[in-house]
A and B are shown apart, each in its own frame.
Chain A
Amino acid sequence: MRDELALGAPTRGELARVIESGWGTDLRRRRRAGENLVQGFLLVCGAISILTTIGIVYALVKDSLPFFTSREFSLVEFITGTRWQPAINEFGIWPLVSATLMTSAIAMLVALSLGLGVAIYLSEYASARARSVLKPVLEVLAGVPTVVYGYFALMSMTPFLRSVFGRDVVDIYNTASAGLVMGILILPLVSSMSEDAVSAVPRSLREAAYGLGATKPETALKIVLPAAMSGISAAFIVGVSRAVGETMIVAIAAGAGPNLTLNPFKAAETITGHIVRIGGGDIAYDTIDY
């Protein structure tokens, strides 16, 4: 027995010495020299995300702090004012916010209702073959660049709206066509996230409902949808954030002048469209307009 032990197993004395010196120190000193370098580089890669967030906050605060602390600015007027004309020092934010809210509301109406419909159809009704064809086709809608959607809104959706509602009701630049096309853009996002959520609902829930005599839509709407509500609300939030931040469609199709109106057929400028117009134009860097 002593011979077997001598081959590889440590004796009691050796074991005691290793324990006293601290378990891991020998191993750590044996690491290769380049490994720390690699780990440091990868850590920097990960930390770049934090740096980017800090950079965004810094960039936004640096340029807007002079505005918010200047003498001409009053918070009350900013929040409740209804005219945005920096040239004559009128700083009511409502025209921009209302246009943003209107386009986002129209977009979410379209995207949420149709997106849920698509999700339920694909997960409950469609055959596997139909699903394998329809899903990629709808994903293509998500891949189209937003500039193309903007021109589609201007060139096709607006004439269509004008032919339906009349040329004097609908302006050439209006928030309705921008909102509708934005809804088409967000539709695949909402539908794919909702479909994942709906497919994750266990089959036993559905089968129990069918066993009790529910029809397919009743099961889908009253059993499956509430069960998938967390995923669907996540889809809703992602869709809303996408709609609010959408720039190119509204910059091209919605208009170029802040306008406080609840009529979706008139031109209005959203916050993002305003940023694009001002940032890309020839406003000097240090003026209050910027």
Chain B
Amino acid sequence: MKLRLAPGQGLSLRAADSDDRFDVRLRARQRAATTWQVFFLVSTIVGIVALSALLYTIADRSFGYVAVQNKVPPEQLTVDGVPVEQQPAARLASLLRERLSSGVLRRLDSEAPLEERSQSELYQLVLGRVIEPEIKASWTLTDSLIRPAAVRAQAAAKYPGAGLQFRSWLSLGFLRHPQSGTPADAGVRTAILGSLWTIAITILVAFPIGVGAAIYLEEYAANNALKHAIQMNISNLAGVPSIIYGILGLAIFVRDLEPLRAAPPSAPPTQPPPADAAFSRPA
């Protein structure tokens, strides 16, 4: 008798009629097996899909068409067929003098006289104060790539005076400009510097103390209650939500160490508590 076993099919040592029952159950079990396998695969795929969705969202909003409306169209400033960004510095300076108000001109001149500035600097001034581009609307990358005609129609309908440009929001300017109220000029420079400061101080504090504690626990500590207390505390602290650390920082480093701080405190330390009914004790 030749026995051929399929995967998942075991060897039954019982009588023949229960072999049939076993076979019927076997098919159901194999169906269930396939379903579960699909579920396990789908779980993994959901994780990958989530990550891709995250990256796709970021990329989608970083590039796309923008509708730009200029207060004064640059074509108006063309002289003898020379567009404004290529005009010489002297021409740009006289353009600024005739267009800007006297107060602004006085302020600019007090920083550095217009005639002594470079051409690129003067062009930036012209761009910022005369042409004044304003971004009216932006579209995502998918919209810009897949339905450009619809985007154009939308822009023409809602912002008739605006031109359509393809803009990459991630640019070198994005990294170099500080925060700004106008989205076109805004950058992450201050945020990046702040993050770098925080990371540097964190590493300077955490690394020596962490390695020191590890060496102590491994090499020096006797197997007593103190060692167990330290190890238990370290495990506990790893699980504390970060907002509790924020409260700790606020209470100890900001409030209690206030005399050591360089900056003036946000509220005068000698201010008596406000007359709040909840805190009043019976006189």
Which residues of A pack against B, CB within 8 Å? Answer: 39, 41-50, 52-53, 55-56, 58-60, 62-63, 66-67, 70-73, 89, 113-118, 120-122, 124-126, 134, 137-138, 140-141, 144, 148-149, 152, 155-156, 184, 187-188, 191, 211-218, 220-221, 238, 241-242, 244-247, 272, 275-276, 279, 284-288
Contact = CB atoms under 8 A, between A and B. Distances in A.
Contact of B233 (A50, A89, A116): A50
Interface in B39-57: 39-44, 46-48, 50-51, 53-54, 57
Interface residues of A: mostly helix, strand, loop or mixed?
helix
B236 A53 contact: yes
Nearest to A138: B47
A279 B254 CA distance: 13
B273 A286 contact: yes
Contacts of B281: 71
Contacts of A137: 47-48, 51
Given A49-B233, A216-B37, A275 B44 contact: no
Contacts of A211: 10
Given A214-B8, A247-B243, A284 B274 contact: yes
A49 B230 contact: yes
Given A53-B236, A118-B44, A279 B10 contact: no
Given A42-B215, A66-B279, A50 B44 contact: no
B50 A184 contact: yes
A287 B43 contact: no
Given A46-B230, A59-B251, A188 B243 contact: no
9 contacts: A42-B213, A50-B229, A70-B279, A114-B47, A117-B43, A214-B8, A215-B30, A279-B246, A287-B276
Contacts of B10: 211-214
A62 B267 contact: no
B30 to A, nearest CB: 6
Contact of A63 (B32, B246, B251, B280): B251
B37 A125 contact: yes
B237 A275 contact: no
A244 B37 CA distance: 31
Given A52-B237, A56-B244, 15 more contacts: A39-B220, A42-B216, A52-B248, A56-B245, A59-B247, A59-B250, A121-B43, A138-B47, A140-B51, A141-B50, A155-B61, A187-B47, A220-B36, A285-B267, A287-B274
Contacts of A115: 43
B73 interface: no
A193 to B, nearest CB: 13
Contacts of B233: 49-50, 52-53
Task: In the A-B complex, list the 10 residue pairs whose CB atoms are closest, starting with the nearest.
Answer: A213-B10, A245-B241, A117-B43, A45-B212, A59-B251, A217-B36, A42-B216, A121-B40, A215-B33, A286-B273
B256 to A, nearest CB: 9
A124 B211 CA distance: 37
A217 B43 contact: no
A286 B279 contact: yes
B237 A49 contact: yes
B221 interface: yes
Nearest to A53: B233
B271 to A, nearest CB: 9
A48 B239 contact: no
Nearest to B234: A49
Nearest to A180: B50
